[in-house]
A and B are shown apart, each in its own frame.
Chain A
Amino acid sequence: MAGDRRATSGSLISSRSMEKVFPADSHSGVAISGVAGPAMEMVRLFQLQLEHYEKVEGVPLSLDGKANQLSVMLRENLPAAMQGLVVVPIFAGYDHRSGTGRLFQFDVTGGRYEEGDFATVGSGSLHASTVVKLRHHNDLDGDGVVDVAVEALFQAADEDSATGGPDPLRGIYPVVARITAEGFERLDESDVAERTDAFLAGLGDSYR
C-alpha cells in the first residue's frame, strides 16, 4: 500500500507530509482519500473498533469482517459525504484463513469490491492505475511491487496537482507499507528514497 504526502485546501498546499496509509491492525492496512479530517477520524475509529473486538472476543475479526466494518462506517458517513465531507478508502490485509493477501475497494456509500490485482483511489488514481495496470503482474516480488507503486505515484503527481511527488529537498517521500504473513511493515523513508532515486535515474534523459 502506498500513498503520497500532499494535502490541499483548494489550490493551496496545506500539508507536505500528510500520511495516508495506516495499519488497521497487525495484519491489515487502510489507505484514505477525500477530506482529511473525517478520513483521519474514520481511520482512528476503525483501528479502535478492530482492537476492541479482538480484546472483547479474544480473537481478531476475519478479514471479511474487518472490511465489512469499514463498509458500515462509510455508509454512516454518507449524509456527511453528500454535504461534501467525502471519505473513500482502500482496505487490504493478509488473510490467515486463505493464506493470501486480499484487497478491497470501496465507494462512498460503503459498497465493497474485492479486487484481484490492484486498486487505486483519490484524485490521482486514474493516472496511477494506468501505470499499475501496465506494470503489474502476479510474479512481482517484494521489491518489484514497491517499484511499481513508486512509479505510479510519481506519474500521478506529474499529472494531478492534488497529488504530491517525492520531495528530496525536505526528505519527504511516499508512505509505503507491505503486509505479509509476518504483518504490516512500513518501509523506512530512506528505503523509499533509495527506490525513488533508482527510478528517477532509470528515467535518465527520456523526459528531456
Chain B
Amino acid sequence: MTMPMYVSPEQLMKDRADYARKGISRGRAAVASTYANGVLLCAENPSNTLRKVGEIYDRIAFVGVGKYSEFDQLRIAGVRHADLKGYSFSRDDVDALWLANQYAQILGQYFTHEMKPLEIEMIVAEIGEESVSDQLFHLLYDGTVMDTRGFVVIGGEADVIRGRMEEEWSQEMDLSEAVSVSVSALAGPDRTLVPDDLEVAVLSRENGRRAFGRLEGGDLAGLLN
C-alpha cells in the first residue's frame, strides 16, 4: 500500500500545536501577578543556576517555561533588543508591548516555518507609574499574544493553578500576601514549597530605575512565613 504524501494544513498545525503543548505541560509552572507596588513573578524552579525569571529592562521582566535552552535564548535576545533600542533612542522608548510583539514574530516564525515549534510559553511583564498601568503579556508557542490584567499562569497544570489564583488573588495586595497567594497556588493543597523550590522576583515601584529585584534566601523565607 502506498503511503499518502498529503497532510492537510489543519492536521499539520494541530500536530505542531500538540507537540509544543506537550513539551510545555511537562515542565513546572510559573505565575506573574500584580500587587500594590508592582508585579510579582513566581516560578517553581528547583535549580539555583538555570533561571526562568529574568530582568529585561528598567521596568520590564521575563518569565519562561518549557525547554530551557529555547526560552533562555529568547530572554537574551530580548535583553539585547531592549538595550539596543534604549541606547539608539531613549530608555523611555522601550516598552513591553513592543517587546511582546517582537517575541510573537519569532514564535510565529518558528511555529509555521521551522522544523519544529519552540516548546515554550512566556510572560512579559511591565510596571507603570501606578498600578493601573501595569501590564502582563502572555505569549504562546505559536506567537499568540494576550494582554492580561491581574495574573497569568504558564506551564504544567496551568489550568488548575489558574483556578486557585482566581479564588485567592485580589487587587492591591501587599507583597507578603501576594507571595503567599502565588506560592500556594503553585504548590496546591498537597505540597509545601520552600525557598529552594522557588524562583521569585518583583518589578517594584520602590526599586528606583531598575525595578527588577530577586527575592531569595532569608528575605523569601521571611515572606513565606
- Known A-B contacts A56-B79, A58-B51; A45 and B56 likewise in contact (beta carbons under 8 Å): no
Q: Are A52 and B80 in contact (CB under 8 A)?
A: yes
A: number of interface residues (CB 8 Å): 8
B174 to chain A, nearest CB (A): 27
Q: Mark B33-76, 1 if CB is under 8 A from A, else 0.
A: 00000000000000000010011100000000000000000001
Q: Which residue on chain B has the smallest CB distance to residue A51?
A: B83
- Known A-B contacts A55-B54, A55-B56, A58-B51; A44 and B87 likewise in contact (beta carbons under 8 Å): yes
Residues on the A chain within 8 Å of B51, using CB? 58
Residues on the B chain within 8 Å of A52, using CB? 79-80, 83
A48 touches B (CB below 8 Å): yes
Once the chains are docked, how many angstroms separate the CA of A33 from the CA of B176?
A: 48
Interface centre among B51, B54, B80, B83 (most CB of A within 10 A): B83
> Restricting to A52-95, which residues have a CB under 8 Å from any CB of B?
52, 55-56, 58
Q: Which residue on chain A has the smallest CB distance to residue B210?
A: A51
> Restricting to A31-55, which residues have a CB under 8 Å from any CB of B?
44-45, 48, 51-52, 55
Q: Which residue on chain A has the smallest CB distance to residue B55?
A: A55
- The secondary structure that dominates the B interface is helix
- The secondary structure that dominates the A interface is helix
Once the chains are docked, how many angstroms separate the CA of A66 from the CA of B54?
A: 22
B89 to chain A, nearest CB (A): 13
B: number of interface residues (CB 8 Å): 10
Once the chains are docked, how many angstroms separate the CA of A51 from the CA of B86?
A: 12
> Restricting to B8-56, which residues have a CB under 8 Å from any CB of A?
51, 54-56
Once the chains are docked, how many angstroms separate the CA of A48 from the CA of B51?
A: 22
Residues on the B chain within 8 Å of A44, using CB? 87
Once the chains are docked, how many angstroms separate the CA of A45 from the CA of B87?
A: 8
Q: Are B55 and A48 in contact (CB under 8 A)?
A: no
Residues on the A chain within 8 Å of B56, using CB? 55
Once the chains are docked, how many angstroms separate the CA of A47 from the CA of B54?
A: 19
Once the chains are docked, how many angstroms separate the CA of A89 from the CA of B54?
A: 32
A27 to chain B, nearest CB (A): 14
Once the chains are docked, how many angstroms separate the CA of A44 from the CA of B90?
A: 12
Residues on the B chain within 8 Å of A51, using CB? 83
A48 to chain B, nearest CB (A): 5
Once the chains are docked, how many angstroms separate the CA of A41 from the CA of B116?
A: 43
Residues on the B chain within 8 Å of A48, using CB? 83, 86-87
Residues on the A chain within 8 Å of B87, using CB? 44-45, 48
B216 to chain A, nearest CB (A): 12
Residues on the A chain within 8 Å of B55, using CB? 55
Residues on the A chain within 8 Å of B79, using CB? 52, 55-56
Q: Which residue on chain A has the smallest CB distance to residue B87?
A: A48
B209 to chain A, nearest CB (A): 10
B111 to chain A, nearest CB (A): 25
B93 to chain A, nearest CB (A): 14
Once the chains are docked, how many angstroms separate the CA of A160 from the CA of B55?
A: 46
B85 to chain A, nearest CB (A): 11
- Beyond the given A48-B83, A48-B87, A55-B55, please list 10 additional residue pairs across the A-B interface where CB-CB is below 8 A: A44-B87, A45-B87, A48-B86, A51-B83, A52-B80, A52-B83, A55-B56, A56-B80, A58-B51, A58-B54
Could you list 14 A-B pairs, sorted by A, with CB under 8 Å?
A: A48-B83, A48-B86, A48-B87, A51-B83, A52-B79, A52-B80, A52-B83, A55-B54, A55-B56, A55-B79, A55-B83, A56-B76, A58-B51, A58-B54
Nearest 5 pairs between A and B by C-beta?
A55-B79, A52-B83, A55-B55, A56-B76, A56-B79
